[in-house]
Amino acid sequence: MTNNYDFMDAWSDEEVTKYKEDGKDAQISQIQIKSGKMSFISENKKIVSEGDSWFDYLPGTDLIDCLRNNHNYYIKNYAKAGDTLENMIYGTGINSNFQRTPKSIETVLRKIGQIKPNIFLFSGGGNDIAGDEFASFLNHKGSGLPSLRNNYIDNMINTVFKKYFEDLIEKVKAISPETNIITHGYGHTIPTGKGVKFLFFNFAGPWLRPALAMKGIFEPVEQKEAVERMINSYNEMLILLESSNSNFYHVDLRDNIDPYNDWSNELHLKNSAYARVADIINEKIVSIQT
């Protein structure tokens, strides 16, 4: 039975901040560091995570907050809002001299190798197909071509992104063969043009409707179908990966997220929806470990 977390949507900024801090404080209280190892924490509760804003969302709660608070996981989280698959898996950062800066994947893999967690949570892909990138998947309405560049979508998702994930799977397997990777493919959302507001200004986004408008795609049903096609293609690729990799698990959220009622803006869920999704991910973790 799904828990009702609707009360979380009425939280003030202070209550959200307290919830986030409570989750971090609970981790500190249940851990003792001895010779660089975590003691007194069940092996089934140790998790390493890497990801985007679904794991690192400052304006509201996120999945990591909910897994810590509601399910008592110890999570070493390396997620950063706005991060891309390419950067998380290979590293794209350079300095002013065009030299490579340290790759976050090296830090993540080092931690996985150190604690050998049963679970590695990964959230990525949203920033690779939304925002400035979204326009590249669309044709202009005036061209008379289909709204979506289907061949380009197929190449990016089923060749490029699939290869990124295959390399991630191999990197994790090489450092910790028993670690299982759990990821998700987001859910169906409506291109409302709503972004993240901070002090009455748009802090980030919107990520979908601007590209659609620039390409002359204004009809709401056509906009919605274009976004659905992207989300479906991404999830189908992850499902195929799951079928061919024993340590890789995809959590399909498309039927669990209401496109009209569960979103705070175009890319991020309401507090209550993140909590419900965390319940679903917890169920996946438990099923893997039993």
- Higher per-residue confidence, 13 vs 34: 13
Lowest mean pLDDT among 33-42, 94-103, 200-209, 269-278: 33-42
Residue 201, pLDDT > 90, answer no
Count of structural domains, the chain: 1
221-257 pLDDT tens trace:
999 999 999 999 999 999 999 999 999 999 999 999 9
Residue 204, pLDDT > 70, answer yes
Report if residue 167 sits inside a domain. Answer: yes
Report if residue 1 sits inside a domain. Answer: no
* Residue carrying structure tokens 């071509």: 145
Strands 32-34 and 37-39: antiparallel
Here the tokens at position 233 are 């293609």
126: left (phi over 0), alpha (psi -120 to 50) or beta: alpha
Residue 34, pLDDT > 50, answer no
Q: Which domain holds residue 119?
A: 6-289
At 3, is the pLDDT very low, low, confident or very high (cuts 50, 70, 90)? Answer: confident
Residue 22, pLDDT > 90, answer yes
Here the tokens at position 91 are 């590293």
Distance CA 41, CA 169 (A): 26
Report if residue 246 sits inside a domain. Answer: yes
227 contacts 259 by C-beta, under 8 angstroms: no
Lowest mean pLDDT among 23-32, 55-64, 93-102, 187-196: 23-32
pLDDT at 179: 98
Distance CA 157, CA 162 (A): 6
Distance CA 272, CA 258 (A): 12
118-136 pLDDT tens trace:
999 999 999 999 988 999 9
263 contacts 270 by C-beta, under 8 angstroms: yes
Share of the chain above pLDDT 90, in %: 87
CATH code where residue 183 lies? 3.40.50.1110
C-alpha pair distances (Å), 128 with each of 28, 88, 93, 113, 216 = 34, 11, 16, 28, 22
